[in-house]
Amino acid sequence: MHLRLNWIYYILITVCFHSSVTAALQLDSKEKVFIVADTTTYNYKTGVKIFLGNVKVDQGTTHLTADKVITKDNERHQLEELLAFGVLQSAHYWTLPKIGDTELHSYAKTIKFHPLLANVTLEQDVVVIQGENSFKGQLIHYNMDDQTITVPASKNARAELVYTPEK
């Protein structure tokens, strides 16, 4: 059970797309961030950026694709909130946690990341895969400061974890 919780913790800490708080390659934090979308709107006054249509975000070995991404910066131009939405298909986040590891892939209809609060939420049709290990569920809340994972009860679904021990 302890190994399973450690594995879930490891996956969820890499789910967020922000170099200062993820376990992605350290080199990624020094890489430029490239964002491509069919249309982009940036409101400098409010700090809100909206990216629509075939959105791709790349920073080194860390990537995010979604149909829509909304970011909000605070007055110090720090990322306060990132929302990624999969409308036609799930939003997809993937990264190489460290050299020699298998890529980690996360899918959800909605990914909500609040880096200043150290919170990540994955909603609707959540799938997290790394190698032969996987997690499926409808909702995951993760607090990076408290290192707590909450998978609330659902009326119609249960969380499913497949963990393959090291050989």
pLDDT band at 11 (very low <50, low <70, confident <90, very high): very low
The CATH number, out of the four listed (3.40.630.40, 3.30.2320.20, 3.40.50.620, 2.60.450.10), of the domain defined by the range 2-21+30-162:
2.60.450.10
From the list 2, 1, 15, the residue with the least C-alpha distance to 127 is: 15
CB burial of 114-137 (b: ≥16 within 10 Å; e: otherwise) equals: bbeeebbbbbebbbbbbeebbbbb
Domain positions in the chain: 2-21+30-162
- The model's pTM is 0.76
Q: What is the pLDDT of residue 140?
A: 82
pLDDT tens per residue, range 29-79: 677 778 899 999 999 899 999 999 999 988 888 889 999 999 999 988 888
